[in-house]
A and B are shown apart, each in its own frame.
Chain A
Amino acid sequence: MAQGEKQRSVLRINLDILNAVKDEGDAKPTHILYKANLSHERLVKYLDDLTAKGLIEVKQDGEARTYSITPKGVGFLIEMRHAEAFIQGFGLAI
Chain B
Amino acid sequence: MPSGAVLAFLLNLLSAFVALLTSYYAYRTNRLVRNPVLGAISFGFTLLGIGLLVDAGTSLFTGHLVVESYADRVFVLLATFTYLTIQMVSYLVIAWGYARVAYRGEARGFVPAALVGSAAISLYGYTILSYFVALILIGFVVFQGFLLRSGEKSRFSGTVMLAFVLILVAHLVFLGSVLALGSSYAGGIFLVGIGVQFLGFISLLVFVVRSEVVGPR
What is the interface of chain A, defined by CB distance below 8 A to chain B? 11, 19, 77-83, 85-94
- Contacts A80-B32, A83-B33, A86-B29 given; does A93 touch B152 at CB 8 Å: yes
Chosen A-B contacts, 9 in total, with CB atoms closer than 8 Å, are A81-B214, A81-B216, A82-B214, A85-B156, A88-B154, A89-B154, A90-B37, A90-B38, A91-B151
Q: A85 contacts which of B37, B147, B148, B210 (Cβ < 8 Å)?
A: B210
- Across the interface, do B148 and A92 meet the contact criterion of CB distance under 8 Å? yes
Which B residues between 22 and 45 are near A, CB-CB below 8 angstroms? 25-26, 28-29, 32-35, 37-38, 41
Q: A89 contacts which of B28, B35, B101, B157 (Cβ < 8 Å)?
A: B157
User: What is the interface size of chain B, counting residues whose CB is below 8 A from a CB of the partner?
Assistant: 33
A14 to chain B, nearest CB (A): 11
In the complex, the chain A residue whose C-beta lies closest to that of B26 is: A86
What is the interface of chain B, defined by CB distance below 8 A to chain A? 25-26, 28-29, 32-35, 37-38, 41, 101, 144-149, 151-152, 154, 156-157, 159-160, 207-208, 210-212, 214, 216-217
B146 to chain A, nearest CB (A): 8
C-alpha spacing A92/B157, complex, angstroms: 9
Q: A79 contacts which of B32, B144, B159 (Cβ < 8 Å)?
A: B32
On chain B, the residues within 8 Å of A90 by CB distance are: 37-38, 41, 145, 148, 157, 160
- Contacts A86-B26, A88-B154, A91-B145 given; does A11 touch B160 at CB 8 Å: no
On chain A, the residues within 8 Å of B216 by CB distance are: 77-78, 81
C-alpha spacing A90/B207, complex, angstroms: 10
On chain A, the residues within 8 Å of B28 by CB distance are: 83
Describe B's contact surface by its main secondary structure: helix
- Across the interface, do A92 and B32 meet the contact criterion of CB distance under 8 Å? no
New A-B contacts (8) at CB < 8 Å, excluding given A11-B33, A91-B152 = A11-B34, A19-B217, A81-B216, A85-B154, A90-B160, A91-B147, A91-B149, A92-B37
On chain B, the residues within 8 Å of A11 by CB distance are: 32-34
C-alpha spacing A39/B55, complex, angstroms: 56
- Across the interface, do B214 and A85 meet the contact criterion of CB distance under 8 Å? yes
Describe A's contact surface by its main secondary structure: helix
On chain A, the residues within 8 Å of B151 by CB distance are: 91
On chain A, the residues within 8 Å of B37 by CB distance are: 90, 92
On chain A, the residues within 8 Å of B38 by CB distance are: 87, 90, 92
C-alpha spacing A25/B36, complex, angstroms: 35
Q: B212 contacts which of A80, A82, A91 (Cβ < 8 Å)?
A: A82
